[in-house]
């Protein structure tokens, strides 16, 4: 029985052994470019994890594609442009400034400013309200009297 447990534990440890990707590069410069790109590109499946650290299958595919493009002599910007074309701006940690991204930054500030302006406007309007005049009092009394006559009838 003791040997059976040891044997099962030995088989379990074999399945736990992790594999590490081994990449070959033509030059040290290309390897450095690959390392920078894998740190700079985001895994489309994972939550805020770059493709260098992600264990997702899509991250492995992206690493392989980056490797192919770098070994083909593509520049860093060419690889980034390829990935953005394929996966959108989400794949890059430093998206460019576009009208859509400007709106994402400006709209909350505008909403806060408009809300504050609305509050100030309402406060000023409430402070400058006219007082109840004698004419208003007479009109109110007249309406009350008419209402009471109708109720009696």
Domain-embedded: residue 32: yes
Q: What is the mean pLDDT of residues 10-30?
A: 65
DSSP string, 95-135: PPP-HHHHHHHHHHHHHHHHHHHHHHHHHHHHHTPPPPPHH
Same structural domain for residues 61 and 111? no
In the block, residue with structure tokens 């740190």: 39
Residue whose pair of structure tokens reads 């509050």 in the numeric block:
119
pLDDT tens for each residue of 101-146: 788 889 999 999 999 999 998 888 877 766 778 888 899 999 999 9
- 123 located within any domain: yes
91 pLDDT band (50/70/90 cuts)? confident
Question: What is the domain extent for residue 144?
Answer: 99-152
92, β-bridge pairs:
41
Positive or negative CA dihedral for 98, 100, 104, 109?
positive
Please check the confidence at residue 8 and state whether its pLDDT lies above 70: no
pLDDT the model gives residue 17: 46
Q: Which residue has the higher pLDDT, 10 or 58?
A: 58
């Amino acid at each position: 029985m003791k040997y059976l447990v040891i044997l099962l534990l030995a088989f379990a440890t074999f399945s736990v052994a992790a594999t590490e990707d081994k990449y070959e590069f033509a030059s040290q410069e290309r390897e450095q470019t690959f390392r920078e790109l894998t740190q700079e590109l985001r895994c489309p499946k994972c939550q805020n994890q770059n493709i260098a650290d992600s264990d997702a299958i899509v991250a492995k595919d992206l690493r392989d594609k980056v490797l192919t493009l770098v070994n083909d002599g593509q520049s860093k910007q060419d690889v980034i442009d390829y990935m953005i074309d394929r996966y959108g701006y989400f794949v890059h940690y430093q998206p460019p400034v576009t009208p859509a991204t400007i709106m994402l930054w400006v709209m909350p500030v505008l909403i806060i400013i408009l809300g504050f302006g609305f509050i100030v406007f309402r406060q000023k309007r409430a402070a400058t309200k006219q007082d109840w005049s004698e004419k208003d009092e007479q009109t109110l009394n007249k309406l009350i009297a008419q209402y009471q006559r109708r109720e009696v009838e």
